Chains A and B, each alone.
Chain A
Amino acid sequence: MNHERLVKNPLLILGLEPGSSRLEVERVGQKLLGLLAIGARSAQSYATPWGPQPRDEHLIREALAALKDPATRLRAELWFLAPGTPNAPEMAGAAAGDPALAELAFRAVGWRLPCP
């Protein structure tokens, strides 16, 4: 599962809700670009169910372009999870690489060094 599309959701990046109008998208996007230009800290990260993520000008412009296209807008609405969603799914980094499990599994069969 590609968790990028959950974390780097254009609606999340701009801090919008599903169903936001085109005017709202444009207004919020320009406001964030202006805040970034003056170095405002509030614009340098965005909230996700997995904690704050870094945000920059390139990311904001990509999000604006994605939300202007109906097809990518629909995908963004599909994969949107609001910040503060209870029981948000685990991210791939946390779940897939469990070094303790890997090390014990290989040691149990006589391999001292688990393969990377």
Chain B
Amino acid sequence: MPVGIVAIVVVSAVLVLFRNQLRHSGKPTVLPSFDISWGRLLAFFVVLVLLIARQPWLAAILCIAGLAPGRFARHVLVPLGIPHVTYWFLRSVHLGSGKPDALFLELCSRLRFGRGLSTSALTRLEQRLEHIMPMGYVEDTTKHSVAMVSRAILDAARGQRETARELFLVVQSLPRRLCPRGSRNLSQGWLLADATARRDFAEVLRLCGEGPRTLQRAYFRTLAQRYLGRPLAFGDHLVALCAPVACRGPLAAWRLAKLVRRAAYKSPPPLPSPEASIDLVAAKRALISAASRPVGQVSRAELRSVGRLWHTLDARDAITGGAAEFAALSGQAQSALFDARSASRELLDEVVATFEELWPHALPDEVPSDERCPLILEVEDRIEQRAMSKLERLIAQLPSAADREAPAEACWRAWARLRALSRDTIHVLPGRTESILGPLRRSMINWGAWLYNNNGCKVLGLAVFHWCLEHTPKDNASYELLENNIRLARAAL
């Protein structure tokens, strides 16, 4: 045993000195492949020494650690959840480099039991991350995505959920060759948990259609379907039984399923049809009933019913009649008709504004609806207008050649914000994708090309092209351009 420990200490000292010499000689700190082989050769030498010194168990552990340090860290060190161990192990094995992977796995390790996530500890980890950015790892493109997922984890640990959500959405959608599976799975896990915590099961179902195919995703889909009272297929029942075992927290996954079943969505009683005799009181109760339910407990179909009620009342001039009564009660009897008309318009505006708040979070239709309620159309128009002005503002604020410094992190964050808003808008207004993205497509493609050609953010540029291609009709002129860009970028990366 003492011989083994002495051997490890000596070898580690040699490794560190060797690394420092490389740094002082001005050689780049990227990790060429021969460094990994060199490290493995040294590990093999240490194992041999230990076997000669009759330490077979230590030799076996070092053999695995030396030959497959990433797997050893992921499957042994991370589950132990001891702060600092994972980071320094990987830095040592990679001769002082390999910071992005080391930082990412160190964060995973700290998340395991919640240790080492105090404000000061997070600040130190952020400082380490800042040394990685801007990234010069042009040869190894996965480092970009690993650094960004570490940034997202730090944001989430600090409670900045919006920015974390935007970054996780980008990372989970990156192609396999640009982003390790562990990063994508972790991003997906956080997104699903975040949507579940907000009881936004419509978002959970949407997330289950994106990102990597995992058992955890299938499990959350069954939870969302149970919550919404939708029937489960035979395969879904199997997933519900087996998937918790595949989750990182199986016991928590089982308890979550029970809690979700208890909080399940219950369909409210049907609303009166417009043909029945309705009045302002009934319409008012229907609106309050729809508006007061928590997120994920009102559907678009219900909102359309309520919208039809209000539209019918407006068409019958019933709102103006009601407003006239209230105006009289308020002592405005002389100009009751004029006040009533403007007051009824204001009331209808208030109703439309309420729908604007509710529509984005309502459960989508299981079958697309062709119904065209004028009030809902007005709501959709307003949502589209607001979204377009935000999107145009974000496009104008994208870092560009005009900025003296366009650090990689700023570009990633800007794209994450733009992508998240576009995604949310398309979800709310699925029939208007082309009218929303069409005017912005050329700017996005040009920005992607600038990122790829001039700013060294090849991975991000490719991610932009992928997103644009996914939302471009095949008969559009930009489709072929995007396919060519992606083909060229893939060949180079």
Contacts and interface: CB of A to CB of B under 8 A. Distances in A.
A74 B193 contact: no
Given A22-B331, A101-B196, A108 B247 contact: yes
Contact of B252 (A67, A96, A108): A108
Contact of B192 (A79, A95, A102, A109): A109
A109 B189 contact: yes
Given A90-B292, A104-B259, A111-B111, A98 B199 contact: yes
A9 to B, nearest CB: 11
Interface in B345-365: 346-347, 350-351, 354, 357-358
Contacts of A115: 156-157, 159, 161, 164, 194
30 contacts: A1-B291, A1-B357, A19-B329, A71-B346, A71-B347, A73-B327, A73-B329, A73-B330, A77-B326, A81-B288, A90-B293, A95-B199, A98-B199, A101-B260, A101-B263, A104-B256, A104-B259, A105-B196, A105-B197, A105-B256, A108-B244, A108-B252, A109-B248, A110-B189, A110-B247, A113-B117, A113-B157, A115-B157, A115-B159, A116-B159
A2 to B, nearest CB: 8
Contacts of B113: 112
Contacts of A98: 197, 199, 263
Contact of A112 (B112, B156, B196): B112
A31 interface: no
A74 B332 CA distance: 13
Given A1-B358, A101-B256, A110-B189, A69 B293 contact: no
Contacts of A113: 111, 114, 117, 157
Contacts of A38: none
B248 A110 contact: yes
Given A108-B256, A116-B159, A89 B293 contact: yes
B289 interface: yes
B326 A108 contact: no
A68 B326 CA distance: 10
Nearest to A20: B329
Nearest to A115: B156
A74 B292 contact: no
Interface string B141-168: 0000000000000001101010010000
Contact of B292 (A6, A73, A104): A6
Contact of B198 (A6, A74, A96): A96
Given A1-B354, A1-B357, A101-B259, 11 more contacts: A70-B330, A74-B322, A89-B291, A101-B199, A101-B263, A106-B193, A107-B252, A108-B249, A109-B189, A109-B192, A111-B193
B197 A114 contact: yes
A21 interface: yes
B391 to A, nearest CB: 25
A4 to B, nearest CB: 12
Which 7 A-B pairs give the minimum distances between C-beta atoms?
A: A89-B292, A110-B248, A109-B189, A102-B197, A112-B114, A107-B252, A95-B294
Interface string B174-197: 000000000000100110111011
B409 interface: no
A110 B112 contact: yes
Contacts of B244: 108
Contacts of A105: 192-194, 196-197, 256
Interface string A63-106: 00001111101110111010000000110100110101110111
B81 to A, nearest CB: 8
A92 B253 CA distance: 26
A109 B193 contact: yes
Nearest to B192: A109
Contacts of A102: 193, 196-197
Chain A's interface size range is 35 or more
A78 to B, nearest CB: 5
A90 B196 CA distance: 19
A113 B247 CA distance: 16
Contacts of A81: 288
Nearest to A111: B111
B339 interface: yes
B295 interface: yes
Contacts of B247: 108-110
B372 interface: no
A6 B103 CA distance: 48
B184 to A, nearest CB: 13
A77 B244 CA distance: 49
B284 interface: yes
A90 B294 contact: yes
Contact of B253 (A6, A96, A108, A112): A108
Given A70-B330, A107-B249, A115-B157, A6 B288 contact: yes
B451 interface: no
Interface in A1-51: 1-3, 6, 19-22
A70 B347 contact: no
Contact of A101 (B159, B197, B351): B197
A79 B323 CA distance: 14
B295 A110 contact: no
A1 B199 contact: no
A80 to B, nearest CB: 8
Interface string B31-61: 0000000000000000000000000000000
A21 B287 CA distance: 25
- The CB with the most chain A CB atoms within 10 A, among B111, B256, B293, is that of B256
A6 B249 CA distance: 40
